[in-house]
Amino acid sequence: MVPCIHYVGFRDDRYWNAYRVFGGPRVFHRWWDQRAKREIADCDTVIFADGEWTQEPRKFNAPDLDEE
């Protein structure tokens, strides 16, 4: 399994700063929701634009964008 970087909640140029540090392959999650939480593998890294990693996921899912 190839480790993946999950970017959560990025909407502005801060994404490019995070990408320079963490790279990809990457998956974009519009917000932290139940589906995003399920898609995280043990070998993956999750980068949040805002908030702590302990935040509760939203009850409603947002569509995600995959990029290789």
Task: Write out the residue range of the structural domain in which residue 54 sits.
Answer: 5-58
| Global confidence as pTM | 0.82
Asked whether the beta carbons of 6 and 45 are under 8 A apart, the reply is yes
The more confident residue out of 56 and 63 is 56
Higher pLDDT: 66 or 48? It is 48
Q: Is 26 left (phi over 0), alpha (psi -120 to 50) or beta?
A: beta
Q: Is residue 68 part of a domain?
A: no
- Assign 7 a pLDDT band (cuts: 50, 70, 90): very high
Q: Is 37 a member of any domain?
A: yes
Q: Rounded to a whole number, what is the distance in angstroms from the first to the last CA of the chain?
A: 15
Which amino acid appears at position 27 of this protein? V
67 located within any domain: no
What pLDDT shows up at residue 19? 92
